[in-house]
Amino acid sequence: MQSVTPKVPSDLRRVERSGAHDGETGNSRLGGEPLNDNSVEDTWADTCRLDASAIAAIAHLDPLCADAACRTVPRLNAAADVAGLADALRRIVPSLSTVGRYSPFECAAAMRDLGIFLGSLKRHGVEPVTAVPEIEVALVELGRRTVMIPRDTVYHYGPWNPVGERQRMYTGAAEETVLIDSVRRAAPALDDGLRALEAASELAVNDPMLASLLTRATDGVKTLIDALDGVRRALPPVFFARSLRPYFEEVTIAGCAYLGPAAAHLPLYLIDELVWSSDRPDDQYASFKRDTARHGLPSHRNLFARRQHRPSLTSVVTHELRAVGLVPPDQLRDVGEDLVRLLRLLVTFRGRHLVLARREYAEAVRLYPLGSGGASVELLHEILELTRQSAVLASPGATHPTYASPDQHGDCEGHSLFRTEGEA
């Protein structure tokens, strides 16, 4: 294999919990300019949408001829056969010249298939690059070609994963399919909701298109809640904590650590950014959002870069409501109600997810102190409280007298919006 020194663009390196930024220059730097339009990678960044045709195309592809190797993964994992996993991985590693001939879709499919071995080796205590050194340059190049991190992500494990007998899995258990299917459902719906919110953020509050865009975003969050409810019903917390969570540990590639394909890396953080959090600074959540953005799609990273520090929809609507006084015009009142409806669903999801996380990371069950996406249970509770407070700010007070304001501790009482199912 060609000898090179792999280097990952600095914007894709994992941000430490301090929130520090790397000083080097790389494509699509967060906090800097979005990708320019002159490179092949930028074309992929612009077209990398989670529409049905792209999802089906990537899932269908097998550029490494890895179907047979991937079918062995659950058996090798059950036997903790590190040598067998490393040998199977070694046999499918592409050369740099081969990667150079791939389309971006083929690069995504190749990363998906290499990735199932990365998480498997690390689950058994072995760094993949240590076990199979020749994989490193291939991973870095596949990441460069797709403008993503040099390992698999939630999109490789979920929507880009084939359905049926070709499905890439760590364990082969029916419960794992429940998790994969939940991501398959939620990821495209959230992506569509993001596009709607991005368009909504550019409109005036009296624009007649705003209501339909907020409805699209609301539908995306409803799908996410439905997917979570399916996981709560069919995936026992102890199974996730003990049997699946170990496969999502971070791996080191080219000297940088990258988290596994966690469902927590779905772009709910970006929904928050557009709806309420872009102008509500919180150091812990800001650090988590930066780290999550780097593990996501290039189009999502670019949107995050554009939206940071700009007014959120909640701030814009709140400003308009305060400006008109106690009796807002019907159009503005309807927008406020649509926004509160969306925030109510975000609160519902955050509350149910918090309950599930508390079960999965209870001391008697957990193997790790942090979630697969790098967040603590305490951070999830903090995000829930911030979302609740934003719902209060967005509600037209004169027409919703039962909504209370946050007290001095940030707690909210007085309406079902602020009492989430499962919380006590």
The pLDDT of residue 52 is above 70: yes
Q: What is the mean pLDDT of the chain?
A: 82
pLDDT at 365 over 90: no
Q: Are 91 and 65 in contact (CB under 8 A)?
A: no
The pLDDT of residue 368 is above 90? no
Is residue 33's pLDDT more than 60? no
Interior angle at CA 289, CA 284 and CA 290, nearest 5: 100
State the pLDDT at residue 12: 59
d(CA 158, CA 160): 6
Report pLDDT for 21: 29
Structure tokens at 248: 């999502």
Residue 353: which pLDDT band, with cuts at 50, 70 and 90?
A: confident
pLDDT tens digits, residue range 109-129?
Answer: 999 999 999 999 999 999 999
Do domains 10-14+41-166 and 183-249+260-418 share one topology? The answer is yes
pLDDT at 53 over 80: yes
Helix axes 377-394, 283-294, angle to 10 degrees: 110
Statement: residue 95 has pLDDT above 90: yes
**How much is the pLDDT for 311?**
92
137-155, pLDDT tens digit by residue? 999 999 999 999 999 999 9
Within 8 A by CB and 6+ apart from 33, the residues are 305
Q: What is the DSSP track for 404-415?
A: PPP-TTS---SS
Dihedral angle sign, alpha carbons of residues 113, 117, 119, 120: positive
At 369 the pLDDT is 60
Mention the CATH class of domain 10-14+41-166. Answer: mainly alpha
Q: Which fold does the domain 183-249+260-418 belong to in CATH?
A: Methane Monooxygenase Hydroxylase; Chain G, domain 1 (1.20.58)
For residue 217, pLDDT over 80 is answered with: yes
Phi, psi of 257 (to 5 degrees): -95, 135
CA–CA gap between residue 294 and residue 292 (Å, rounded): 5
In this predicted structure, the answer to whether residue 79 has a pLDDT above a threshold of 50 is: yes
| Measured CA angle at 202 (ends 198, 208), to 5 deg | 100
Question: How big is the CA angle at 156 (ends 150 and 161), to the nearest 5 degrees?
Answer: 150
pLDDT of residue 6: 58
Give pLDDT, residue 371: 59
Helix then strand count (H, E) for the chain reads 19, 2
Tens digit of each residue's pLDDT (9 = 90 or more) over 280-306: 878 888 888 999 999 999 999 999 999
Q: What is the three-class DSSP state of 339?
A: helix
State the Cα–Cα distance between residues 72 and 124, nearest whole angstrom.
16
What mean pLDDT comes out for the span 199-217? 92
pLDDT higher at 308 or 2 = 308
CA–chain centroid gap for 305, Å, is 16
Q: In the predicted model, what is the mean pLDDT of residues 54-60?
A: 94
Do residues 90 and 134 make contact, with C-beta atoms less than 8 angstroms apart?
Answer: yes
Whether the per-residue pLDDT at 20 is higher than 70: the answer is: no
Question: Hey, where are the domains in the chain?
Answer: 10-14+41-166, 183-249+260-418
| Mean pLDDT value of segment 375-392 | 84
Query: Comparing 43-57, 65-79, 88-102, which segment has the lowest mean pLDDT?
Result: 43-57
Query: Of all residues in the chain, what percent carry a pLDDT higher than 90?
Result: 57
| Backbone φ and ψ of 364, nearest 5° | -75, -15
Q: What is the pLDDT of residues 244-277, one digit of tens each?
A: 989 999 999 999 999 999 998 999 999 999 999 9
| Lowest-pLDDT range of 23-27, 162-166, 204-208 | 23-27
pLDDT of 27 higher than 80: no
Measure Cα distances from 137 to 129, 172, 181, 228, 256 in Å.
10, 29, 31, 36, 13
119 CB-near residues (< 8 Å, 6+ apart): 152, 170, 247, 248, 249, 251, 260, 261
Question: Over the stretch 392-422, which tens digit does the pLDDT of each residue have?
Answer: 877 655 343 333 333 333 333 333 232 333 4
